[in-house]
Structures are given as structure tokens and as C-alpha cells.
Chains A and B, each alone.
Chain A
């Protein structure tokens, strides 16, 4: 089976079983190991990517389902020497410790910030409830997303003005 889809803005093609998990296709076939596996059953959110802008757990998505669609992974957010604003907020707030949940956490958070999510503690916690982190106790992550959400709101306000 040949499947074409867009990953981080580039058209990619994959040949093989359509039932292969998107997670494995990204890591093994497309050499994008930034997306992590934590549980393999959609509970921990470490493998979260964006599918047409929506956060999904890539361990539960057979690659056949992404044909013709847009996938975004952590690799799209920035580079170590040029971090994106959400990544900068994570770094400044101490939101990444061991880092293994971070790619998934960032993707869920980026979908939230992009669609104009509020800098509200409770709303952010509800949004991130599907992403497990065992290191941080979440507080610094929530603070980082608040920071990014505030900045996102400010940018949109400027644009409107």
C-alpha cells in the first residue's frame, strides 16, 4: 500500500502495511524519532501529533487513515538554536525535566495555543489531561502554556489593531 501525506509541510510517501501505526511510520520510515512511545494504548499522550491541526495519539492511528492529510510533529516547532515561542516558554518555566513526555505535551499545547486557548489554569489542565508527565507535577507545564497563550492572545490583538 502506498500512502502520501504531508509531514511538517513536506509531502512524504510511505509504502507498506496500511495498519502500521503512524507512530512507527514517523519514527522508523520517516526518521522522525522526536515523537515518543510511552504506553502504546493511547493513555499517556507521549506520541501526540497534530493531524489536520488536531491533537491525536499516533500510537492509535493506522497510517492508512492519514492519506492526503497533514501531520505535524515536534520537529516542526523549532530547532535547538531557534526555539519556537511555546518551546521558549517551556524552557523558561522549567516545563521539561526528563523530556520524554515533552514532544507530546508540546503538540497538545500547540493545538490549544493555536486555536486561541485562554491562559486559564483550569482550561489548560483540562486540555492537557490526556498527557501524562511523571516528573513535573504539571505546574510548570501549565505555567508555560499560560505564558504562550498570553503571548498568542497579544499577537492576535496586535494583528486586529
Chain B
């Protein structure tokens, strides 16, 4: 490793930035495909029941349209994922409102949608199950136990109990879900889509079309945001576009409008978390008993893994010898919930942090001190029995956050402010401390067996080949930095291949805060192999275009390129038992602390944020500006979750499925944030880096709720904390 980083740790220009800034970057709907038809989806208008018949209006000119039903599926009628329970197109019964039943395509987009009105579906309606507490259909359960929790709680000096309700949350990427598909002359199905995980789509298309892997090709178009919302859902829309394209014999594009995207696609899982926590008189945790219920919606999708991550993070970044976590995710007749940044952890960490607030209040210890007394450090053991070896920056994050926010002083000032009844507002400051594991859980990375490669072409071009996708995080720039730094070449000499499954290896999905730490590590290994093949160990790698070209000629001989691929190898010390759910859940965790000061208007109960301070340990920071962008952007989504984003479900579907009625933070709802990194490098991360994407989603909601508690001396345990909820916590009628 060079003594001085030339590329890593610097704010390189976003590689694809100029194209995006000039409007020439091509998102899926920007691709003009000759002869392309537009697809529309007929969706269930009931939440549960049998489909008695589907009838096409005989007076309608259907010969001008392409129509696809379940009977047109050449392979298996399911969306291949964890369980194959979700039909691509419902045939006999529907299990949620907005479930796809039939597809129509036409050369004019508006005509395709208008045609849907000429299809009649008759149902035998059944009473839908909408309350997860009543559901008997359990998708997955976990039970983690360490120590003797009942005995510990019985002996604890204080015990606090809480019940927390977390709502659906919409990913609200600004580009809706969309895909295009066509068949090549040799029978290869090609899909081009707005998506995070091209190889997931390959798996789904193989099953749906009965095609071998080499006849399926998935290309990621420039993708306008994902946040998990384009992790598994593209399996559905890409397959639908493919089915229409197969029948039409022409390319077909499906682009959802905002309403359809919000009403039909996945959301963050709603959760109910019941929590008992016991501590000693001086605030040390002795027992934590957690029960988690998540609403999976009508089909399994990724619910078991979302529940897993929620379960594994459920007691927060705290030492506690006696822990029991029991969790389950169940079915309801609502559109399936799925991946969303944080992936189950924001729900449970909210509960864990509010328990710390309750303990602090009951013990008369301030919220900073109680966290100091319990925060994990190297050597701490988590509920799954994982003893943390290194790179544990929880305490550093907490201290940096407390210092930069002047937490103690502001807390005193808020308390003083609130003492005077003449003030027009209440003020409060809240703290939250969280951890977030990077990469797939437990043996997940081993099953994935991710691969990534670096290629040197005969013309001296260095290319990064990976299935990891860019959708704003900065993947492309980050990977260029890691490879350039490893080789000691200028950034400009490295290019990153578009994720196209015909060209790139399967690097696993672009999820779970794993891109930098896991795939970045593979790229560093591949680059080191390339380096060793080109130069003797001590001599410098050719770092100009002509020198690189000369070296490439020598290396490649007559071959057009030489490829160096790295495959994930489990570090020796990592051990995990899927049966008992114990062991090293994640190789490394990132840590973050947030302080938020806010003000609540005494007349309207509206909340205004006065300041936000964040400190995070994400290991070595490869690109400080992008990392800060991830933190501020994620924290903004978290502030939306905390204060604004209300999904209104009626009869089993989101009624306010549009931006007019579902409010996400604007510039005016978002304060300027103070962000600082306190790196505890991870020895096996590339240059010491860990994960950053999800962490900032975890801390805003509990920090806000803690600040609200400080302001009004009441707990609000249901999100979002709207003026109505504040009024009701104060025992006031909001309508009065």
C-alpha cells in the first residue's frame, strides 16, 4: 500500500456526473427503441378472493393490442426470489389490491392504459386479513437468546416497558420503476431496466421464461434512485416487459406512473416492537427482552432477511449480558413489503433507543451518560454471541456528536427555555446511537460467492467489471478510486463497465451496505493480482497511458485482454451457525450518532428542526464528499420517516399514493447538517473502509423522538410524529 493515498480519501469528480448534469445520461425511459410498444398492467381491485373470470370486451379492437395473461408465461408463473410464492400474473386468486392480473401493450402509451378499462374481471371476494396481529400465516421467525433474561429483569433495579409502532414508508425514488425488454435473433431475452441487482433479475427471468442463463441478459440503465425499492421489484416489471415482448415480437417498455409505483410496489415493513429493558441503579443494562412483529404483505419477497436484520440490530449498540429477541414476520392482504434502506433495522433501533430514553428518565440519568455507560467497544459481545474484534467506533461517534452539538449546553438551554410558560414553543434536544452491519448476514456472503474483476486490454485500458450498480451512491467513482489507488495510477486510466450480465461477473446484489466493503475488497484483490502480473513487487506500476499500453501488449500477448478476477473468501475467523442463529453476524459494523435540536409550536404542534449534528464511523472514508452526501441524504429520509411521511392504508392499499398527498422532505423541511467522520478502519475493508449507505437511515427517528420527549416531557412511540400525534400525547384534541 502506498504511504500516501493519492486517490483514496479525496473527492474525485463523479465519473458519470457530467452526463447526468447535461441530461444526456440515459435512464430507461430515455432509450428510444425502434418499434417499441408500451405496456400497462391490469391490477386487482379487491384485496382477497378468487378470480372467477377475465373477459375482454368483444367490441374493443384487441387485434391492435398485445395481451398477456398467466397462460402466456412459457416458464413458471412465479417471481423467483427466496420463496416462489408470488405469481407473476394472478390466475385463480388474488391476495392483495393492485396485484397484476393481465398485461396490455400498444404503440401509444395512453392507448395501452385506456385499454385496461375494456377488460372485465369477476371476483369471488373474501374478507381480507389486514391486521398483522391477527395473521396466522407466518413467513419467518427468529429466536435469539443469551443469558437468562427473565431472572435478570426480575433482579433489575428498574425495568421499563415500551410498545412502538412503525409505519410503512415509501422509497420515493424520483424515477419510478421501469423496464424495457426485447428478444435478440438468437432467442436471447434482453431487459434494460432501472434496477439495483441485475443478477437477481437474471434468476427471475430464467424461471419465468424457462431459459438457460446464457439466453438471458440484463442491463442496468442509468437508475434514478433505488433505496431498496429497486432491489427485488425489478424482477416483476422486467419479467412483465419480457412477456409482452415475447408475444409482440417487438421491444416493449413498461414505465409506471407515480401513482401506480407508490400503490403497487414495495414499502418499508410496518413493525410493532414490544420491549422490556432492565438496568442497574447506575444505568447499566442487565436485561433486554424484545418482541418484533413485522407485516410482510401478501408474499414473502425479502421479508425473512428484512426480519433477520431487524432482529440482529434490535438491542442497539449496547452491552447487555441477558437478551431475548423473538421476532416474526407475517402475511396480510396488502401489497408485499420489501427492501428499503436500513432493511428492518430502523424499526427495531428506534425501539431500542427509546428504551434508553425511558431508562434515562426513570433513573434520572441524562441520555448521553446512559449511552456512554452501555455503548459497545472492541471486546464486547453481541446477543448472537459475536465478540467484536476491531473497528468499533460507537463511543467515538457518540463523543464526537456530543461535542460538536454542544449537547450538554443545548440540553440545559432547552430545559431553561421550556421553564417559561410565556414561550411560544417547546424546545428539546435528542440523541441516538446506532450500529449497522455491512454486508449480507451470517453465511450470506459465503452463499453469494461474489466475484469482481479488473481487466487490462491489449490497448492498455483498465476496466472494472462488477455487477454492482450505480444509482447515486457513487459506486462507479468509488470503484475507480479503489483500483487506481491499488495500482498507483491516475483515476482517469480506470473505466468502469456498465453492469450488463453478458459482460460482468455476479458481484452479488447492490444492497446491504456491502458495495464498498465487500465488492471493493474483491476489486482491490483483483487489482493486486493484476499488479503482480505486470510488475515485480517493488517496482512501480506503469502510470501513464503509453507505459500502460506497452505493459499491456507484453502481458496480453495475442489475447485481446487479460482478466483478473477475485472471488469472496470467508475470513478464517468468521463463523456463523444458521440453525442456532449465533456467531459472527457481520464482519464489521458501522456506527453513527446523531443529535437533533427541535422546536414545537405551542399553538400548531408543528415541529421545526433547529440543528442536526452527526458523527459516523464508516471506517476509512474513500470519498469524503460522497460519504457526506450519503449521510445527509440518508438522514433526510430518516427525518421524513420521523416527522412527515404518512402512508394512509385503506382496505389494504395506500390511498395517498402520490407526491401531492405523501409528503417527503423538501429543502424547507431539511436543515443544514453538521457531519463528521470518526474512522475506526476495518483491517479487511478496502483501505480500511466499511459500509455507509444504510446507517444514516437508522438514527434520525429515535433522535427526533428523544428530542420531542425532551420538549414536551411525553413519549411519542408511533411514527411519524405529526402535530396530531403530539397533540394527542399532550392529551389535547388536535381538531380543537
Contacts and interface: CB of A to CB of B under 8 A. Distances in A.
Nearest to B634: A137
* Closest 4 A/B residue pairs (Cβ): A34-B23, A100-B224, A99-B20, A98-B472
A56 interface: no
Interface stretch (A62-70, A74-82, A153-161): A74-82
Contact of B19 (A35, A38, A80, A98): A80
B659 A44 contact: yes
Contacts of B672: 121, 139, 142
Contacts of A128: 667
Contacts of B633: 97, 134-137
A134 B22 contact: no
A90 B19 CA distance: 12
A140 B632 contact: yes
A138 B20 contact: no
Interface in B397-439: none
A97 B659 contact: no
Given A94-B629, A96-B17, A125-B667, A134 B174 contact: yes
Contacts of A131: 667
A32 B223 CA distance: 18
A78 B176 CA distance: 26
Contacts of B667: 124-126, 128-129, 131, 138, 141-142
Interface in B230-263: 257-258
A134 B664 contact: yes
B174 A133 contact: yes
A6 B226 CA distance: 35
Interface string A79-96: 111010001001111101
B670 A137 contact: yes
B22 A78 contact: yes
Contact of B22 (A35, A37, A75, A100): A75
Contacts of A87: 18, 21-22
Interface string B632-666: 11111100000000000000000000111000111
Nearest to A125: B667
B440 interface: no
Given A39-B659, A135-B629, A100 B21 contact: no
A96 B21 contact: yes
A31 B32 CA distance: 9
Contact of B472 (A78, A97, A126): A97
A20 B6 CA distance: 52
A84 B224 CA distance: 22
Given A38-B174, A121-B672, A136-B632, A81 B224 contact: no
Given A41-B660, A137-B636, A96 B175 contact: no
Contacts of A37: 29
Interface in A3-53: 27, 31-41, 43-44, 46
B673 interface: yes
B27 A36 contact: yes
A152 B668 CA distance: 24
A58 interface: no
Interface string B153-169: 00000000000000000
B175 A43 contact: no
Interface in B11-31: 11, 13-14, 16-27, 29-30
Nearest to B222: A99
Contacts of A129: 666-668
Contacts of B635: 137
B22 A41 contact: no
B22 A83 contact: yes
Given A97-B633, A132-B666, A136-B629, A90 B224 contact: no
B350 interface: no
B14 A98 contact: no
